Amino acid sequence: MLLLLAPRQLRVLSCVLDPSIHDGRVTLSNSKRPTTYWSMACSLTSGVVESISHTYRSFFQYPLVGSCMPGPVFLRGKTITLRTVEDEDVSFLQESINDPDVRHGLSATEPISERAEREWVESVASGETDDVHLLVCVDGEAVGIIGLNDVTDQMGMAEIGYWLTPDAWGNGYATDAVRTLPEYAFQERRFHRVYAKVFAGNEGSQRVLEKAGVKREGTMRDHWFRDGRYEDVYLYGLLEGESAHSE
């Protein structure tokens, strides 16, 4: 499967970014409008709106994006944890994948409904495929997602994809996640190779992969269409035994 051409159920998790984006600004792949996660405005009385801080959010039954505690920790990086995807994450994932800032770096071109997102989360939980999808979290708060897609056990190979919310860009979280997940693939799943595809114009995502030790291997010319034109796509790869850290 080509990540950039992935069907909806494989989550269009790609590693493509805008050229202006710096390290960690992954608008994947396969991030959410820059809002404050832990605050909200609730109408308390007729015509009265007050700002409610996170201290009081537990008293109100409103599903806030990013307000649900993610699932248990599955892997730990230096600055992030990778946690299981749960039903409570549907709102966060659906809002994020529909954000124009996120979609511009992805193969996602159609709106994703809450129902479609919930069906995808259910497919992840059911183990219908060997693919792996984990929330990228910082201090217990979800800031993105990373996955191993198109897993081929016979070849010991998978495509890595990820996105982060705009609020989390520029902190090195993407690089940490991209270092952490391949180590799991090699050490626990006995994979031999992980690879990623990146738009040629997306220097930020290229830098994320390169800092994580993933090597550029080739160019697929005019491989994707976006912004009214065809664009080259770079192929990156990391083999078992190669360092998953920057030089």
CATH number of 196's domain: 3.40.630.30
Angle between helices 90-98 and 114-126 (to 10 degrees): 120
Is the pLDDT confidence value at 44 over 50? no
Domain count, the chain: 1
Token pair in block for residue 55: 């201290």
pLDDT in tens, 136-156: 999 999 999 999 999 998 899
Domain-embedded: residue 60 = no
Domain-embedded: residue 45 = no
Which pLDDT belongs to residue 143?
96
Confidence grade of residue 68 (pLDDT, cut at 50, 70, 90): low
More confident: 7 or 152: 152
Overall average pLDDT of the 171-191 stretch: 96
More confident: 76 or 104: 76
What is the three-class DSSP state of 43? strand
Domain-embedded: residue 26 = yes
Domain-embedded: residue 185 = yes
Mean pLDDT is lowest, of 24-28, 92-96, 219-223, for 24-28
More confident: 92 or 10: 92
Domain-embedded: residue 157 = yes
Which pLDDT belongs to residue 245?
60
Mean pLDDT is lowest, of 97-101, 155-159, 232-236, for 97-101
What average pLDDT does the structure give for the chain? 76
Which pLDDT belongs to residue 31?
35
Which pLDDT belongs to residue 154?
86
Domain-embedded: residue 42 = no
Confidence grade of residue 70 (pLDDT, cut at 50, 70, 90): confident
| Segments forming the whole domain that contains residue 174 | 3-32+69-239
Is the pLDDT confidence value at 95 over 80? yes
- Cα within 13 Å of Cα(112), Cβ side: 27
Report residue 96: phi and psi, to 5°.
-65, -45
Pairwise CA distance, residues 247 & 149, whole Å: 26
Domain-embedded: residue 196 = yes
Domain-embedded: residue 62 = no
Name the range with the highest mean pLDDT among 119-133, 134-148, 197-211. 134-148
